[in-house]
Amino acid sequence: MSNPEFHSEPDSGALFELEPEPADRLSFADLARLPLGELVAPDWAKALAPVEAQLREALTFLAGEVAGGHAVLPSPANLLRAFRQPLATVRVLVVGQDPYPTPGHAVGLSFAVDRATRPIPRSLANIYKELQDDLGFPPRVHGDLSRWAEQGVLLLNRVLSVRAGAAGSHRNKGWEAVTAAAIRAVADRAPAADARVGADAAAGRAALVVILWGKDAESVRPLLGSAAVIASAHPSPLSASRGFFGSRPFSRANALLQEQGNGTVDWELPPLP
C-alpha cells in the first residue's frame, strides 16, 4: 500500500535468545546463512520449514538491496522479531501490512514503532484512541507494543521489510509465502469459533482471536479456517472514522478469549517503555 499510514509493523531471553543487538553486528547476508533454528523460535522453525526456501530468497534479496546502496527497514536484528515469540504462546493475531518506511520507526512488530519515536504514527494514535474509548486506558506517547507481544499477541506484518522511504516496495519478494505459512500455522491451532471449550481442550486446540484491520488484512481470511475473527476498517486517518472507531476490538478479543478458556490480555501499556 502506497500510503505510509497504512503500514505497520515479545521479548525476553525466555522467549528467544536473538535479542536485538547493535545493528552493525548482523547483516541480512548473515541472516541468509544462519540455520532456520537460529533465526526464529524452535516451534516457528518447524512451522516455517516448508517455506524456508522463500524465506532465504527474501533474505538474499535484502542483502542485494543493501549492496545496491538502499536502506532496508527494519534492521537485520529486528527483521524476524515477531517469530521470537514462540508459536505455542500465540493467542491473539493482529495482521499488519508492511513496515513503516520512515527510518527509525520499524521494529519488526506490526503497528509498533521504536520506543523513542515522537510523534507516533497517526494510525497508532488512532489505535490508542480506540483503546481508551473501549477499555478506558489512556493513550501513550510511545509506540512500544512489546507488552502486548509478551502476552501472546502476535503483531505480524504481511510483508516483513521495506526500502526506506518507499512504502510497499518489498511486496512480491517472497514474504507473502512466509507469512501465509505463519498465519496458517497459528490458525491451525485455533478452536472452532462456535465450539465448546471442553471439546476443544480435549482436542488440544489453543485459544485464538484474529484481529483484521482494513481490506489488506481481510485478504488473509481464507487462511484462518474457523478461528474467531474481529474485523473492521483500518485505523489510518483515511478510514478510521468509517468503522474502526467504535469497533471495540480489545474488549471483544478478551471476551472471545474468555469464552475459549484462556483468560484475557492486559491491553494497558506502561506510561514509558
Of 11, 98, 144, 216, catalytic: 98
Q: What confidence tier does 273 reach under pLDDT thresholds 50, 70, 90? A: confident
The string of pLDDT tens digits covering residues 76-88 is: 999 999 999 999 9
| Partners of residue 232 on adjacent β-strands | 213
200 is catalytic: no
- Sequence spans of domains, the chain: 4-9+85-259
Q: Is 193 exposed, middle or buried (0-12, 13-18, 19+ CB in 10 A)?
A: middle
139 is written with which cell numbers? 493513550
pLDDT of residue 24: 52
- Out of 128-137, 156-165, 194-203, pick the least confident: 194-203
Cβ atoms within 10 Å of 1's Cβ, excluding its own: 19
> Into which CATH architecture does domain 4-9+85-259 fall?
3-Layer(aba) Sandwich (3.40)
8 A C-beta contact, residue 73 and residue 21: no
The string of pLDDT tens digits covering residues 148-198 is: 999 999 999 999 999 999 999 999 999 999 999 999 999 998 776 554 444
8 A C-beta contact, residue 112 and residue 81: no
Q: Is 63 helix (H, G, I), strand (E, B) or coil?
A: helix
